[in-house]
Structure 1
Amino acid sequence: MRKTLFWILGIALILLIGWITFLYYGTYSEGVRAGTVIKLSRKGVVFKTWEGQLNIRSFGAVNSNNSLSETFEFSIESDQEHIIKTLEEVSLSGERVNLHYIERYRVLPWRGSTRYFITKIERSPQKKPASEEDAERAPFK
């Protein structure tokens, strides 16, 4: 009897560890969203996580009068310092970006508040200030 109970508990523990591992590393989908970063914050009571919002500006593609329906909420893993720094820069400049993300199966509180995690950022090409463009077009004196 004791041996059977030990085997049942062992199998249940292995299944539980397998399920948690699947939820932690499993990816449901991947994608790209384009827009401007309107919010980036580090928040949480017990677990501090990086969270943000992207203004998609769908130009009428979303059939709603609510401007919040045009935002994409995302999380950034704490070890992604380069991504956090770049997001801080583009949120202050208002620059349009493409955010590559993965969607996880479940929200785990120590990872973030959303199922969407940013993996890569593509910044839009920098435009030259108007004075530089004018100087390039002006004939040599």
Structure 2
Amino acid sequence: MAEYQFEEKKGGYGKILIWVLLIIFLFGGVFVWYKYYFVFGEGVKSGYLNYAVKKGYVFKTYEGKIIQEGFGKGRTGALTSYEFEFSVDDPQVFKQLEENSGKHFDLHYKEYNGAIPWRGNTKYVVDRIVNMK
């Protein structure tokens, strides 16, 4: 009996496809990390707390706004106000804000390049209260 040996053809397309998919996955992961998890900036904003609310359709997030006073691009010499809208990721920080609406706060925040629905509606996330008057 004659034995037939089938020789497998080894094509390079499978390996190329795996490498292309791996590179796409790697760049996608780096993009998501940079867009949503990389801290672009940190700082402190001061102002009077206008509101602190828990809201959302699917993801209930903590949101707030402080009113900052100062001279701005309004009428010459007129006092104008700026609004700083932010999200809060810590329930304890939110509780302290909620209980002290209308007071003057110094809030430490982190600025991200994009907002994630379960983290909040803004790219500014307050992580602690520096001072309250």
> Which TM-score bucket, shorter chain as reference?
0.7 to 0.9
Q: Which has the larger radius of gyration?
A: 2
Superposition RMSD on alpha carbons, in Å?
Answer: 2.0
Note the alpha carbon deviations across 1:30-81, whole angstroms, 9 max, x for none. Answer: 11111111111111212221111001122xx12237x99521100111xx12
Q: Percent identity?
A: 35
Other-structure match for 2:110: 102
Letter in 2 for 1:52: G
Q: Which has the higher helix share?
A: 1
Q: 2: distance between equivalents of 1:73 and 1:104?
A: 14
Q: Which runs of 5+ in 1 are unaligned?
A: 126-141
Separation in structure 2 between the aligned mates of residue 52 and residue 2 of structure 1, nearest angstrom: 52
Pair 1:75 & 2:82 matched: no
- Alpha-carbon distance, 1:122 to partner: 2.6
Could you tell me how far 1:119 is from its partner in structure 2?
Answer: 1.6
From 18, 29, 34, the equivalent of 1:22 is: 34
Number of aligned residue pairs: give it: 118
The residue number in structure 1 matching 2:3 is none
Specify which of 84, 99, 111 is matched with residue 89 of structure 1.
99
Query: What is the rounded CA distance, in whole Å, between the counterparts of 1:112 and 1:36 in structure 2?
Result: 21
Tell me the TM-score normalised to structure 1 length. Answer: 0.74
Q: Structure 2 matches for 1:7-46, cutoff 5 A?
A: 7-46=19-58
SS class of match (2:93):
helix
Choose the corresponding residue for 1:53, options 41, 44, 65.
65
Say whether the 8 Å CA contact 1:95–1:123 is kept in structure 2.
no
Note the C-alpha offset of 1:89.
Answer: 1.7
1:40 maps to a residue whose letter is A
Question: Is the 8 Å Cα contact of residues 69 and 80 (structure 2) preserved in structure 1?
Answer: no
Which has the larger strand fraction? 2
